Amino acid sequence: MYIMIIDNELVSIIMPAHNASKHIMESIDSVLAQTYVHWELVIINDRSVDKTLDIIEKYSLIDERVKFFSNTLDQGGAYLARNIGLKKASGKFIAFLDSDDRWHPRKLEVQLSEMQRLGYHACHTSYVRVSDTGSIINSVQCKRHVTYKDQLKTNHIPNLTGLYNREVLGTILQKNIGHEDYDMWLVILSMVPSLGIKEKLAYYRVADGSLSSNKFKSAMWHYKILHSQGSISFLYKQYYFLFYIYFALLKRL
């Protein structure tokens, strides 16, 4: 039983969208269904050539909390779209939802309530991995308390599960680097730990051929991010990378 303490703080939900017409309605609907109603959904149309923009515009006419902007730059990419959204966001809290993922209706309510009750400024949840067609692949139980050192070993916080207090931590822009979400959460965790919610409150879609399914490329990105951490020694960077390999192998069993 969760008691809602925060009742009027604005949550900005950042959603990049590139040729997302296949699943974006499901994603937006999961935000509209949130039991916590004080949010704004900031959608960034990232140079889509399908029906994405038409869909977004229709939702913005139905609900004024749905806001959209377009990436008019010569380059695209999820990190760039998220940064545009972050600069447009007005909320005290920041959350992210990609245009092919979705949330449980009580995600924001539960996270905000527990963050307030326990005094955390960042939070994540357990989640379910689904196929492109929506079939359940498996569920992932989150770690109850994640620190910077925990995150160096493996990614404990998929971006769609996370929520952080921007008023306390500031606006954290993403870098043009593979695993930009992971890198962003390292920045957050270098300042504060994150509270894990055991309930599965997010649904992560694993598309065939997606970047997240390319294990070798992911490993190289992870290695580069570890070696960009100036606060740890070279030997510890190797140590943490071995942990990453270990956890990656466990996930394949």
Domain membership of residue 6 (yes or no) is: no
- The reported pLDDT for the residue numbered 142 is 98
Q: What's the CA angle centered on 247, arms 210 and 173, to 5 degrees?
A: 55
Please tell me the predicted confidence (pLDDT) of residue 2. Answer: 58
Could you tell me the residue range of the domain that residue 106 belongs to?
Answer: 11-252
Measure CA 174 to chain center: 12
Q: Tell whether 1 is covered by a domain.
A: no
pLDDT tens digit sequence for 47-102: 999 999 999 999 999 999 999 999 987 777 899 999 999 999 999 999 999 999 99
Pairing of strands 145-146, 194-205: antiparallel
DSSP 107-161: HHHHHHHHHHHHT-SEEEEEEEEE-TTS-EEEEEPPPSEE-HHHHHHS----GGG
Cα three-residue angle 53-175-111, rounded to 5 degrees:
70
CB 13 within 8 A of CB 96: yes
Rounded Cα distance between 139 and 187, Å, is 26
Please report the pLDDT score of residue 207 as a whole number: 79
* CATH code of the domain covering residue 135: 3.90.550.10
Give yes or no for a contact between 41 and 13, defined as CB atoms under 8 angstroms apart.
Answer: yes
pLDDT averages per 10-residue partition of the chain, 253 residues: 70 97 98 99 95 97 97 84 97 98 98 98 98 94 97 94 98 92 96 98 83 68 78 78 73 59
* Number of domains composing the chain: 1
2 domain residue, yes or no: no
Within a domain: 4:
no
Is residue 80 a part of any domain in this protein?
yes
At 244, the amino acid letter reads: Y
Q: How far is 194 from 188, CA to CA, in rounded Å?
A: 9
- Is residue 48 one of the residues assigned to a domain? yes
- Give residue 252's pLDDT: 59
pLDDT of residue 220: 78
Return the pLDDT at 250.
Answer: 66
DSSP 35: S
Three-class SS state of 249: helix
Which pLDDT value is given to residue 46? Answer: 93
